[in-house]
């Protein structure tokens, strides 16, 4: 019986081996696919892609980098402290230490062969002396031509012995998200360092009122401020200005002032000595406010007009509360920084084609920009505006500025709506005069300010 069982077991194993060998060497393979109609799948393409088509190696950075590094300079902010350094020096005298000290450094971009250089305002702020070192290590003293703290742009100039390599401003409005860019500067005092990345976003605000930055993931570190952001053609499309970081060094995103804004500011400083701002004259609403959420304004694609300032270009053209601005000229407006970014490239007197949505209809309204009608005065923090024709008739005066906003510390004095006529014995003609005269007020002497109330009566207050 045991022999029969052993023979049976050997036979089973032999059969299994024979069948396996047949399957392995003689029978063709066959597969069955089950198609699941409820879960369609798309096969992925394995073709390599890049911004220019078939592979990242096709994007040539070398030409743009070679052009840019020679037009980017190292800017040193030098300060000479001649005052007392301690209480003992203040009380008992001292020998002034006039040794120059580097209090800051950054980058700059040569934009003219004769030595005009654009950089950031925060790079040169508070400088007693400015030093500029070219890529060939030649150092010059620089002259400050003008600044615009609001946009963080400054213009300085050196006097070279020969024509300098420079970068031409490109058109930042045509820059597209996803486009390759190079950031060139002097991070950590390293000369002319080039990094690459893409444009991550446009019209980015960092919390300021009128900011509209180009956002990129090209590495920008301390010392890059004021350096160049260029496209692969070597066109200057931005001035590197800020990074988003909790450490002070690059962690993923950097921000540049668009070239169209920087160019307009530079042109204004050279031609007028200051920045000419064209004002549209609308009041918007914070999209995150309860009011905006309640009214559904926070979901609007465009800029909602919550109010229109009297005697502004928007007021004259007939813009109304409830209008939604969709385009300015050929620039599509999705959010407020889109609008402020484009307006920053315009001057008073420029005419814009404003495309709005009103009651379900799209309208094209020509608007001529005007000068800023209101400013906040130093010392008292009063918001004032130029007199409208209506104000001049009501108060029977052609000179002065109207108080339209009062700071908290002066709220109980009934200043709102009155006309400021003079500071001391100097008349105020407009908001520019008012800003200059209030800027001269000091706390060390009494200053009289003359005003007019709605009854035409003159009033005087004394600042002590």
* Range in 65-79, 276-290, 322-336, 348-362 the model is least confident about: 276-290
Look at residue 83 and tell me whether its pLDDT is greater than 60: no
Q: What angle do CA 272, 171, 281 make, to 5 degrees?
A: 55
**Residue 39 above 90 pLDDT?**
no
pLDDT at position 102 is: 64
pLDDT score of 20: 54
Tokens coding 352: 């814009």
Q: Percent of the chain beyond pLDDT 70?
A: 78
Structure tokens at 450: 């003359």
Question: What is the per-residue pLDDT for 374?
Answer: 81
Largest CA distance in the chain: 135
Q: pLDDT category, 79, cuts 50, 70, 90?
A: confident
Does this model's pTM top 0.75? My answer is no
Looking at residue 53, its pLDDT comes to 39
Mean pLDDT, the chain, as a whole number? 82
Residue 285 has what pLDDT?
Answer: 82
Active-site pick, 107, 192, 212, 225: 225
CA distance 105 to 107: 7
Let me know: does 51 contact 180? Beta carbons within 8 Å. yes
Q: What are the distances in angstroms from CA 384 to CA 259, 397, 402? A: 32, 16, 5
The dihedral through the CA atoms of 206, 64, 177, 50 has a sign that is negative
Residue 332's pLDDT band (cuts 50, 70, 90): very high
Beta bridge partners of 450: 422, 460
The burial of 194, by beta-carbon neighbours within 10 Å (0-12 exposed, 13-18 middle, 19 or more buried), is given as: buried
pLDDT at 54 (0 to 100): 39
CB 137: neighbour CB atoms within 10 A?
A: 8
pLDDT the model gives residue 359: 92
- In the DSSP assignment, the letter for residue 388 is P
- What pLDDT does residue 205 have? 84
DSSP state for residue 190 in the 8-state scheme: -
Identify the residue with better confidence: 17 or 321: 321
pLDDT at 231: 96
Supply the pLDDT for residue 114: 96
Length of the chain: 464
pLDDT of residue 32: 31
More confident residue, 91 or 196: 196
pLDDT for residue 442 is more than 80 = no
The predicted pLDDT at position 247 comes to 57
Q: Average pLDDT of 326-333?
A: 95
- Give 43 or 137, the one with higher predicted confidence: 137
Report the Cα–Cα distance between both ends of the chain, in Å, rounded.
Answer: 127
Q: Is 309 a catalytic residue?
A: no
**CB neighbours (10 Å) of residue 55?**
11
Judge whether residue 187 has pLDDT over 60: yes
CA distances from 284 to 248, 301, 344, 375, 443 (A): 33, 13, 17, 18, 37
**Which conformational region is residue 93 in: left (phi greater than 0), alpha (psi within -120 to 50 degrees), or beta?**
left
Tell me if residue 152 is catalytic.
yes
The per-residue pLDDT for 55 is 46
286 Cβ neighbours under 8 A, 6+ residues apart:
292
| Candidate list 152, 217, 235, 338, residue with the active-site label | 152
Q: Which residues pair with 102 in a beta bridge?
A: 78
pLDDT exceeds cutoff 90 at 57: no
pLDDT at 363: 96
Catalytic residue among 122, 217, 254, 433: 122
Residue 74 annotated in active site: no
Number of CB atoms found within 10 A of residue 417's CB = 13
């Amino acid at each position: 019986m045991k022999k029969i069982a052993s023979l049976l077991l050997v036979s089973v194993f032999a059969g299994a081996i024979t069948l396996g060998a047949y399957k392995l060497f003689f029978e063709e393979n066959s597969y069955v696919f089950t198609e699941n109609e409820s879960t369609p799948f798309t096969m992925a393409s394995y073709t390599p892609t890049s911004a220019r088509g078939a592979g990242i190696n096709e994007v040539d950075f070398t030409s743009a980098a070679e052009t840019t590094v020679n037009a980017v300079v190292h800017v040193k902010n030098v300060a000479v402290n001649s005052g007392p350094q301690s209480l003992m020096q203040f009380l008992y005298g001292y020998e002034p230490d006039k040794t120059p000290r580097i209090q800051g450094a950054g980058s700059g971009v040569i934009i003219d062969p004769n030595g005009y250089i654009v950089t950031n305002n925060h790079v040169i702020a508070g400088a007693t002396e400015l030093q500029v070192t070219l890529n060939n290590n030649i150092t010059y003293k620089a002259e400050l031509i003008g600044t615009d703290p609001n946009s963080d742009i400054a213009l300085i100039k050196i006097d070279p012995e020969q024509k300098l390599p420079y970068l031409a401003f490109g058109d930042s409005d045509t820059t597209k998200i996803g486009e390759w860019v190079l950031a060139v500067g002097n991070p950590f005092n390293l000369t002319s360092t080039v990094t690459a990345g893409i444009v991550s976003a446009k019209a980015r605000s960092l919390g300021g009122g009128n900011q509209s930055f180009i956002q990129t993931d090209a590495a920008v570190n301390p010392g890059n401020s004021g350096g160049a952001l260029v496209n692969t053609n070597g066109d200057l499309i931005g001035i590197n200005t800020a990074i988003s970081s909790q450490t002070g060094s690059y962690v993923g995103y950097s921000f540049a002032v668009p070239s169209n804004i920087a160019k307009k500011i530079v042109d204004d400083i050279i031609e007028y000595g200051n920045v000419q701002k064209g004002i549209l004259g609308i009041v918007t609403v914070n999209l995150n406010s309860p009011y905006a959420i309640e009214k559904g304004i926070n979901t609007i694609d465009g800029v909602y007009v919550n109010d229109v300032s009297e005697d502004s270009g928007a007021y004259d053209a007939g813009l109304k509360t409830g209008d939604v601005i969709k385009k300015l000229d050929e620039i599509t407006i999705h959010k407020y920084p889109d609008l402020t970014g484009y307006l920053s490239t315009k001057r008073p007197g420029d005419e814009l084609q404003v495309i709005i949505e009103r009651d379900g209809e799209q309208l094209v309204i020509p608007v001529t920009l005007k000068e800023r009608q209101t400013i906040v005065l130093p010392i008292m923090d009063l918001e004032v505006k130029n007199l409208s024709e209506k104000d001049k008739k009501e108060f029977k005066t052609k000179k002065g500025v109207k108080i339209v906003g009062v700071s908290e510390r002066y709220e109980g004095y009934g200043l709102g709506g009155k006309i400021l006529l003079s500071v001391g014995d100097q008349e105020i003609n407009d908001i520019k005069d008012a800003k200059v005269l209030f800027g001269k007020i000091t706390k060390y002497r009494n200053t009289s300010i003359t005003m007019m109330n709605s009854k035409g009566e003159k009033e005087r207050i004394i600042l002590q």
